[in-house]
Amino acid sequence: MSHILIVEDEGIIRSALRRLLERNGFQISEAGTVPEARSQLDAHSFDLIISDLRLPGEAGTELINQQTPVLIMTSYASLRSAVDAMKQGAVDYIAKPFDHDEMLTAVNHILSQHRRQKSQEEADQPGTEARDQETSMAGMLGESDLMQAVFQQINKVAPYDCRVLIFGESGTGKELVARALHDLSPRKNAPLISVNCAAIPETLIESELFGHEKGAFTGANTSRNGLIEAADGGSLFLDEIGELPLEAQARLLRVLQEGEIRRLGSVESRKVDVRLLAATHRDIKTLVDQGKFRLDLYYRLNVVELELPCLSERGDDVLLLADFLLNKSCQRLGKPQARFSKSARNALLSYSWPGNVRELENRVERAVILADDTLLHAEDLQLPQANSVKKASFVSSSFTEPKPQSSQFADADHDPAHLPADDLSLEDYFVRFVHENEDQMSETELAKKLGISRKCLWERRQRLGIPRRKSATSK
């Protein structure tokens, strides 16, 4: 159980946050000032500190250290305060008022990153392996039973100099499997040459694979080594081998049978030592029945068969991969670190992912580029199911009178002891602020004060049933 320290001088917020996190399985300690927090830190070990930025005496940033990650809360949500906190070492910030989903998403994301970082630091210590074979291998991530079975197969097969035929839908990571097989083999210091058979024109495929002599065909002005020769001593990965022309298949069969290659236009054969790895998304047996693939080559290739599951079969691996790809995209694009809301995570899990991991990577990168906020919602991913659900809910709300939301802050006299534990919601903070200020502020001013975009303000109004008043609309 993760132990979290909440540092907040407002009792109502501190109590609300404590109850929220305790209901979600976290162990909580509290402090109202930085000195109180230091006393707690001296007495206990914490996995995360959630601290308000503005505290009596010293600012919450004084608690930032290298051992425990700090999430900064601020009701003065400005870019300057957020950037300053991040520069001093805070792992993230969250603007008040915030709702349950935002806070839980931020907490889970930070704790997950911190655990991963600690594991990496432990792995980097002398005498330990750098790879965590239980959850990742050669860039592949997976905690599901299906992926664990794939990792076990790779570990068993990689050390032996045998051929492997990898099956899987497009975008499932077949080339990553080939790289893992190579990196874990005795050939790891030799080259791994990857060839996409579907990407090379049929008239050039034989020349690319087997090489040619000068004058072998029109345009062959010099002799050239083929990719099989380039892989001598290492591994050759033929992706989409089902697209290989029959003539090239016959030549490849000789390489596998005799261990030698003959360039186009040459009468001499040369010995090569290559481990062949192949992959396809097509049914090879069907191609054999159709006369499009040689049966003898199929049996030569298929010493070990390894099948990759599609992304929709991997359960929560979708979220694991999405978080990894989100961090990667933010770093590569130079964007602020983003995270997924609960609605986005639900959309990620419910979508069928016909394009598998490749589609997931593209969707995440597009969301990072186009999103107005660092909290990514389901609509930012532009998934067909998420869009249809959003549209349906919007149409439904057009014909249904929104239910009024009442704040519990006024009724409780700001005393946490009088607040019902099960019904308390940080969303009331947002509701109260909007109700008290929407007559005096425009939507742009409201969004700016709340530290969110106009789009996020509109979405929260829809979700919480807070219609815009005519006086606010006219501004």
Of the residues 259, 282, 308, the one at which a domain ends: 308
List pLDDT tens digits, range 30-73: 999 999 988 888 888 888 999 988 888 888 888 887 678 888 88
Of the residues 276, 308, 340, the one at which a domain ends: 308
Mean pLDDT within 424-429: 56
Clarify whether residues 19 and 151 are in a common domain.
no
Mean pLDDT within 274-289: 92
Q: Has residue 84 been placed in a domain?
A: yes
Q: Has residue 251 been placed in a domain?
A: yes
Q: Has residue 327 been placed in a domain?
A: no
Quick one: which of 298, 279, 307, 304 has its CA closest to 161?
304
Among the ranges 110-114, 138-142, 354-358, 372-376, which has the highest mean pLDDT value?
Answer: 354-358
Confirm whether pTM is higher than 0.95.
no
Clarify whether residues 304 and 450 are in a common domain.
no
Domain CATH code at residue 297: 3.40.50.300
List pLDDT tens digits, range 119-146: 666 555 554 444 444 455 667 888 888 9
Q: Has residue 178 been placed in a domain?
A: yes
Clarify whether residues 15 and 95 are in a common domain.
yes
**What percentage of the chain has pLDDT greater than the value 90?**
26
* Residue 365: predicted pLDDT: 94
Ramachandran region of residue 211, left (φ > 0), alpha (ψ -120 to 50) or beta?
Answer: left
Domain CATH code at residue 1: 3.40.50.2300
Q: What's the pLDDT band for 1 if we cut at 50, 70, 90?
A: low
* Residue 414: predicted pLDDT: 37
Of the residues 267, 289, 308, the one at which a domain ends: 308
Greater confidence (403 vs 168) lies with 168
Q: What's the pLDDT band for 398 if we cut at 50, 70, 90?
A: very low
Average pLDDT, the chain: 79
Q: Has residue 366 been placed in a domain?
A: no
* Residue 102: predicted pLDDT: 79
Clarify whether residues 76 and 165 are in a common domain.
no
pLDDT surpassing 60 at residue 258: yes
Please count the other Cβ atoms lying within 10 Å of the Cβ belonging to residue 281. Answer: 17
pLDDT surpassing 70 at residue 393: no
pLDDT surpassing 80 at residue 287: yes
Quick one: which of 272, 285, 308 has its CA closest to 181?
308
Clarify whether residues 294 and 439 are in a common domain.
no
* Range from 169-173, 257-261, 306-310, 398-402 carrying the lowest mean pLDDT: 398-402
CA distance 358 to 355: 6
- Contact (CB, 8 A) for 212 and 224: yes
Clarify whether residues 52 and 120 are in a common domain.
yes
Clarify whether residues 155 and 271 are in a common domain.
yes
- Domain, as residue range, for 291: 145-308
* Residue 113: predicted pLDDT: 76
Greater confidence (213 vs 297) lies with 297
Among the ranges 202-211, 365-374, 459-468, which has the highest mean pLDDT value?
Answer: 365-374
DSSP per position, 239-296: ETGGGS-HHHHHHHHHHHHHSEE--BT-S--EE---EEEEEESS-HHHHHHTTSS-HH
CA distance 329 to 309: 24
Q: Has residue 229 been placed in a domain?
A: yes
Mean pLDDT within 376-388: 75
Clarify whether residues 462 and 406 are in a common domain.
yes
- Contact (CB, 8 A) for 5 and 26: no
Mean pLDDT within 315-323: 91
Clarify whether residues 187 and 281 are in a common domain.
yes
Clarify whether residues 298 and 442 are in a common domain.
no
Cβ-based neighbours of 406, under 8 Å, separated by 6 or more: none
Q: Enter the DSSP assignment of 63.
A: G
Clarify whether residues 85 and 186 are in a common domain.
no
Q: What's the pLDDT band for 79 if we cut at 50, 70, 90?
A: low
275-280 and 164-167: which strand pairing? parallel
Q: Has residue 10 been placed in a domain?
A: yes
Clarify whether residues 120 and 156 are in a common domain.
no
pLDDT surpassing 80 at residue 385: no
Q: Has residue 187 been placed in a domain?
A: yes
Domains contained in the chain, number:
3
List pLDDT tens digits, range 81-103: 766 777 778 888 887 777 777 78
Please count the other Cβ atoms lying within 10 Å of the Cβ belonging to residue 126. Answer: 4
- Contact (CB, 8 A) for 317 and 143: yes
Quick one: which of 230, 106, 223, 242 has its CA closest to 165?
242
CA distance 429 to 433: 6
Question: Nearest 5 degrees, angle CA 459-CA 460-CA 466?
Answer: 110
- Contact (CB, 8 A) for 144 and 314: yes
List pLDDT tens digits, range 192-245: 999 898 888 877 888 888 887 877 777 677 777 788 888 888 999 999 999 999
* Range from 43-57, 269-283, 333-347, 447-461 carrying the lowest mean pLDDT: 447-461
Q: What's the pLDDT band for 423 if we cut at 50, 70, 90?
A: very low
CA distance 473 to 475: 5
pLDDT surpassing 50 at residue 409: no
CB-based burial, 309-335: b 16+ in 10 Å, e otherwise: bbbeebbebbbbbbbbbbbebbeeeee
* Residue 119: predicted pLDDT: 61
- Contact (CB, 8 A) for 179 and 139: yes
pLDDT surpassing 70 at residue 149: yes
* Residue 473: predicted pLDDT: 43
